[in-house]
Amino acid sequence: MSKPLVSKLSLPLLVPMTALAIALSALSANVESAGAQTPLYNPIQMPASNEVSGTLTDKDIPTGSGGFYRDYVVTFAVGDQIVLDLSSEAFDPIIALIAPDGSTVSENDDGPDGSTNSLLFSRITRPGNYIIRVSPYAGQGLGDFKLKLTRLRPI
């Protein structure tokens, strides 16, 4: 004599368990579709003044090596010539310019004046949205900073 697949004792549990599995599946689908509409990474738009007085905190983007960074997005055209100036009294700042494809165009740790502030010059060769990344040297440090973007005019 063969045993029935579902015993009389497990039948009362089968229906609620099935309902729970269906509900969790629907909830999971809703969370995934909501996540697709809300990006996890959302860099800050560089203000029209092209100047930022900000504070790097532990609420910014983790570097994965113990520190934090903050990203600003700005649109450049081919031929734009720019200067990025990043200074801080609270930490040793590093500035990086990241292309639309995610590659690092250029980066600077210490400026030419002998200070730990950063100064970066770049000529844009591809149009699009670029990231200006503010971070501390070796992932160490938080605090106030000043960022300035200057667009140079060709002679």
Q: How far apart are CA 141 and CA 103, in angstroms?
A: 25
- Strand pairing partners for 41? none
Looking at the fold, whether 76 and 10 belong to one and the same domain comes out as no
35's enclosing H/E stretch is: helix 11-37
Q: How many CB atoms lie within 10 A of CB 99?
A: 17
pLDDT of amino acid 1: 52
pLDDT of amino acid 33: 47
- Which ranges of the chain have pLDDT less than 70? 1-39, 154-155
Looking at the fold, whether 22 and 76 belong to one and the same domain comes out as no
pLDDT of amino acid 124: 96
Looking at the fold, whether 95 and 34 belong to one and the same domain comes out as no
pLDDT of amino acid 55: 96
> pLDDT tens digits, residue range 53-72?
999 999 999 988 889 999 99
Is-contact 91 143, C-beta < 8 A? yes
pLDDT of amino acid 12: 56
pLDDT of amino acid 46: 96
Q: Which domain, by its residues, includes 120?
A: 44-152
Looking at the fold, whether 30 and 53 belong to one and the same domain comes out as no
Looking at the fold, whether 34 and 54 belong to one and the same domain comes out as no
pLDDT of amino acid 32: 47
Looking at the fold, whether 32 and 54 belong to one and the same domain comes out as no
